[in-house]
Structures are given as C-alpha cells and as structure tokens.
Amino acid sequence: MPTRGVQPHHTDVAESWSQPDEDDGSTVRARLRVHLWIYNHSLYGISDQIEYFAGAFGHNGYTVSVGRKPVDMALNVVIENFSSQTRDTLIEFCSRTRKRVAVIMTEHIDFVARRILIHGDPLWTDNDYMHPAIQVERLRCLMSCHQYIAFFMVLGDLPELRNFAQMMVGAEVRAIPFPRIDHRHQHERDEAQPPRYDLLFSGYVTQYRKRLLAEAALPGLSLTSPRKLVSRKKRDQLNRLTRIVLNLPQREGWQWLSLMRVMAALRCGRATVSLGTHDTSRIAACTYQLDLHDPGWKDELRTHVADWATAYHKMYEGYCRMAADFEQTHPFPHDMIEYWAVTDRVRAE
C-alpha cells in the first residue's frame, strides 16, 4: 500500500512512494491534488521519476496521487514518451474535459543553430540507445500535443532543453527543485545485510557500457550488473548490497550524468562513481567523476570502494548543499501551478 500522503488511484500501480508528512503551512496547497498519470510508461522505467515527483510535490504541500488513468478533479501530469496512440489518448482527455496537462521532460532535446539535437547529436543520428525513428516519432507526437500542455517540468536541472521555447513556440519550462533525501546513519547500515559486492551497474547495457564494465572489472574487486531493467525494490536491494554504485555514459562523448541513478544510490546510503564523464550540472556536486585518460583512475576507484562509507557521507553532504542552493535560484513553481488550477477549474479538496 502507498505510504501516507501519496494516494493510489488505481491498483495497477504496485509500488509506493514516500513524501514528507509536513508541508510549508499552505492549507490551500495541502488540499490541491496533483496526479501523475503514468499511462504511457512501464513502471520499471520511471520509478525514480515518480520518487522525485512525489517527494518534491509532497514536501511543498500538495496531495500527490499516481495512476494509469487521469483524474478529472486533479491537475494531471504526464512524463514525455508519446506514440501516436498515447498522444491520441491525451488529446481525447484534454478535449473532453477542456483541461491541460503538465509534461515532465526526461530526454535531452535542444535547439541550437537552427538544428534539433537529441542527446547532443542532430536528429536522425544512429545509436544503440534510442533508434532514430523512435526519436523522430516521440518529438513529432510531443509537438502535436503542444496546445494541450500547460507547461513543461524539468526534475532538477537536467535536461537543459536549450532554446526549447524557440522549437516549441511559447513553451514555459519550470524546474522542480531537488527533494529532500534522508541520511542513512551508521546504525541503519550496520543492521542491514553487509555489502556483498564492490561495484554495481544497474542500467541498460549499450555496447559502450559493456566496454566500460569490462574495464571496471579490476582484479580483486567484485562487480555485478543485472544487465536489464529491474524494479525499484530490486534495484534498491542491489544498491544496499554494494559498496559503490557505478554510473556509465550511454556512449562515448555522452555529456550528462544520470541524476536519478545518483539520487537512488544516496537514498540507499551509497555514493556513485561515474566513469568517463565530465558533467558540470548540479548533480556533479555529489558524484565522483573519473577521467579514463588519467592513468590513476583505477587506483582512485579502489580507494572509493575501500572507504565507501566516507565516500557516501561526503556525497550526501554535497547533495544537501547543492539542493539548498538550487532551490534559492529555482524556487518551487507555486505560481504556475496555482494559475493552472484556476484555468483548469481544479479546486482544493
């Protein structure tokens, strides 16, 4: 069953997400319901986004629900990933109810020098992470939903969506500040099962990631990877059985850290070490990034494994400082949400 504050709207949402019991004192917001409508995704693929969403909105005083169907009397939020069929489902709902949705963006889509870039490369660039035809279809369907979108959300500071409003004319993009993460104290780790592995990678394995996994398999270190998508519960269990969580870029030249992977590790009391990235986004403040051209990177990786508890404490402190600083410059978009509630005729419960 879901924990207090996060309401299940349908029983097909099998996992639960926590959010703080206290809000910021706004009794209006505390009764305003925001519903994450996850009809266009498998649960395994978006569990971290749900965790972030529920934590951030719950901490800011909103009632949060998650389900496979929309809720007429709530503000409905969807996560980008539209096919022709799921696009039509969204348009039918918005047309019938005369409401709009907010869209959480997860892919790196930029508009630079009059060119659309997907994951940093021009549209139609071939790769083994997302087929070019899927890239184009997702973008085409997103654009055809434009008039039904109240605004776009970014969880934290990624994706950047550079010049997005020039591509989606008039688009409003708002950042959702980083949610609070509870610290896992020493006694909690002592009571848990001791680590079984030194290193873990739990993401989808591309050809480039396969190569990096082989390089990270150092003598004397144990490395595990399920090599497929697993549930949030299983992933968190693996995180707690591991000393250090690995982040691996999808392909050579990939510019960004996986924000959700780093946060998931911190929630489990683990630090993340990223191989071959040079990211300068906010989450870099709580991630160890190793330069594979540095001859000492393997020794540094061994050091983090050996002193994994200290590595976690340092990265947790880095996250707390970063999150507080980010919220100062990107406050929670209450104004946008409250205006959306007025235009969509959604009242506090």
Q: Which residue segment(s) compose the domain that 75 sits in? A: 6-177+330-343
Q: In which residue ranges of the chain is pLDDT below 50?
A: 1-5, 9-28, 187
335 and 244 co-located in one domain: no
Tell me: do 120 and 16 sit in the same domain.
yes
pLDDT for 185:
77
**Could you say which DSSP state residue 123 is in?**
T
Residue 348 resides in a domain: no
Q: Are residues 203 and 89 in the same domain?
A: no
**210 and 314 inside one domain:** yes
- 349 occurs within a structural domain: no
Q: Residue 130: what pLDDT?
A: 74
For 106-120, the pLDDT digits (tens) are 999 999 999 999 888
The Cβ of residue 347 has, within 10 Å, a number of other Cβ atoms equal to 12
Enumerate residues 6+ apart whose C-beta is below 8 A from 175.
Answer: 153, 154, 155, 156, 157, 326, 330, 333
Q: Same domain, yes or no, for 298 and 337?
A: no
Please report whether residue 233 resides in a domain: yes
Find out whether 5 and 23 touch, Cβ atoms under 8 Å.
no
| pLDDT at residue 169, as a whole number | 93
> Tens digits of per-residue pLDDT, 255-304?
899 999 999 999 999 999 999 999 999 999 999 999 999 999 999 999 99
- Provide the pLDDT for residue 25: 44
Residue 56 lies in a domain: yes
pTM tops 0.85, yes or no: yes
Both 172 and 52 in one domain: the answer is yes
92 and 235 housed in the same domain:
no
Is 243 domain-assigned?
yes
Residue ranges of alpha helices (H) inside 148-224 are 164-167, 186-191, 207-216
CATH of the domain at 220: 3.40.50.2000
Are the CB atoms for 161 and 105 separated by under 8 Å? Answer: yes
Q: Are 40 and 112 in a shared domain? A: yes
Domain membership flag for residue 123: yes
Domain total in the chain:
2
The reported pLDDT for the residue numbered 277 is 96
The predicted structure's pLDDT at residue 4: 34
Distance in angstroms (rounded) separating the CA atoms of residues 279 and 258: 10
Same domain membership, residue 60 and residue 118:
yes
